[in-house]
Amino acid sequence: MDLARDRYFVIHSSHGVDSLTAVAMPGSTSTFGTGYLLGLTRSPSTQEFQSLTRKDAERAVHKELEKLKASCPKHELDVVCREFDGFLNLFKRFLEESSSGPAVDWGKISPPPKEAVLPYEDLEETDGDKARELLDKLVVVKLNGGLGTSMGCTGPKSIISVRNELTFLDLTVQQIEHLNKKYGCNVPLVLMNSFNTDEDTNKILMKYATFQVEIHSFMQSRYPRINKESLLPIAKDCCLDGDKISNWYPPGHGDIYESLYNSGLLDMFLRQGKEYIFLSNIDNQGATVDLNILNLLLKKGSKHEFLMEVTNKTRADVKGGTLIHYEDRLRLLEIAQVPKEHVDEFKSIAKFKIFNTNNLWMKLSAIKRVVEEKTLSMEIIVNNKTTDQGLNVIQLETAVGAAIRNFESPLGINVPRSRFLPVKKCQDMLLIMSNLYTLSSGLLIMSPLRQFRTTPIIKLGTHFDKVRDFSKRFASIPDILELDHLTVSGDVTFGKGVILKGTVIIIANHGDRIDIPSGAILENKIVSGNLRILDH
């Protein structure tokens, strides 16, 4: 008889009286006679019961994965089997950690010691004569798995035009080509795509064939979404066509270690004499190659296998992951790992002053070691989602920075804020499209006319969420050289040549519209109500 059961009836004994409790198991349904057979077992302890339920869940998921493999085309089977092995390992860890309580003991957490996070200003200035020697040991990797759907665009986010009709990918290629031409070096660019972005990205890469950049790409894993109630995959086959693509997900950027290794690129770069990768999100326009950091890593006697760029928190960053000292190791702590009663403490700038920019430098030989020795251990992020059909599912993910605990002599560098300039929403585009920056060889350079080197805080309402709507609401991008804070809510448009200074708040109430006229100068102003300028 198969011991994988739909339900367990656990007998509890109290004062000599036995009682029965029905406990739903993974794969269970509400109707007896469907799903797995029922079984009866006597559980001597909660711990033993949890162990039985974990094994039952593992068997059920394994059985479903075997069914999915049977539907897979033969030419894809090797890759799918490898990915399913990775998913099953992650799923087992998820079950173990779910039953063992919080993975982090809050009482053991403390900010990193002073020597663990170096100020960027303390780094040695790199002699330009050494640049070629340093750069020839570097590989630049960009995370390119995201879609532009949250900004109202189809296809990869990296192909959204963000400045002078240039996309994130255009700017990245220009930056690397500039390095290669200026120093006579060969810094390759590598893109980690997801199954959502791989096909479109590879088509676009053909336009860079004549650029002085060696471009490679590889695809991260695809894992099956699992039903939140049954803990079973919702996919019925391996097909990605049409709506079936929503049954799958890329398992976070922590997947890069295994996927880069499996692609064959890691070994290729090691054979070429490359030593480090510099990894960042492709939408972070501040994440450029820094010779001072690279020099620190390649300096004789350096043992740092992993370096994380952090920067000082502002109110906008309180949810960002932070470096902590835990059990004599540097660890990355994400807000999802924080017990509810300590969330406010986590957000406090008083205790946790820095956050992770996700600009990471890692030694290639060390990546090879931790993958082959299977010593990678990253905290699992449980991402709750709801499908278009209303089904509650979970995605098990990992973050690339969480692997810092698995490398020798890890280090943080507190970098200037200018190295963190991500574009997550259209309101972020207003910054990089404005006269606050000039563009040179793919690099965004803050204007010397800006009195303060910090960027203004910009909050645009839902009318600006999509790129198309954003573009329609600005006849031209306002002058924001002297802007500190901008909040816009409601139906608001901007004419040409508008200048914004200090703190500007513009609120159009429901049913009202505000048109800021061309040439208007708003300095420390609150604008509300209804303002229409009509042609006649």
Q: Active-site residue numbers?
A: 424
Answer whether 69's CB lies under 8 Å from 224's CB: no
- Ranges assigned E (strand) in 145-262: 161-163, 166-167, 189-193, 215-219, 223-224, 226-227, 248-249
Distance of alpha carbon 313 from alpha carbon 320, whole angstroms: 8
- Which tokens sit at 448? 């010397």
Residues paired with 284 in a beta bridge: 422
Q: Which H or E element spans position 486?
A: strand 479-489
**What are the Cα distances from residue 64, in Å, to 58, 311, 409, 410, 455?**
10, 44, 41, 40, 50
- Which tokens sit at 217? 């790409």
Distance of alpha carbon 185 from alpha carbon 300, whole angstroms: 21
Alpha helix positions (H), 16-45: none
| Angle in degrees, 0-180, between the axes of helices 46-70 and 77-100, rounded to the nearest 10 | 160
Instruction: Return the SS3 of 277.
Output: strand
The closest alpha carbon to 308, from 243, 362, 345, belongs to 362
How many CB atoms lie under 10 A from the CB of residue 262? 18
How many CB atoms lie under 10 A from the CB of residue 458? 22
Distance of CA 261 to the CA centre of its chain: 20
3-state secondary structure 415-454: CCHHHCCECCCHHHHHHHHCCCEEEECCEEEECCCCCCCC
Specify the amino acid at residue 368: K
Distance of alpha carbon 217 from alpha carbon 189, whole angstroms: 8
The owner of tokens 């087992």 is: 92
CA dihedral 168, 334, 251, 286 (to 10 degrees): 10
- Which tokens sit at 59? 């068997």
Q: Sign (positive/negative) of CA torsion 464, 466, 467, 471?
A: negative
Q: For the chain, what's the residue count?
A: 536
Answer whether 312's CB lies under 8 Å from 414's CB: yes
Burial track 371-409 (b if 16+ CB lie within 10 A, e otherwise): beeeebebbbbeeeeeeeeeeebbbbbbbbbbbbbbbee
Specify the amino acid at residue 468: R
The closest alpha carbon to 165, from 436, 471, 427, belongs to 471
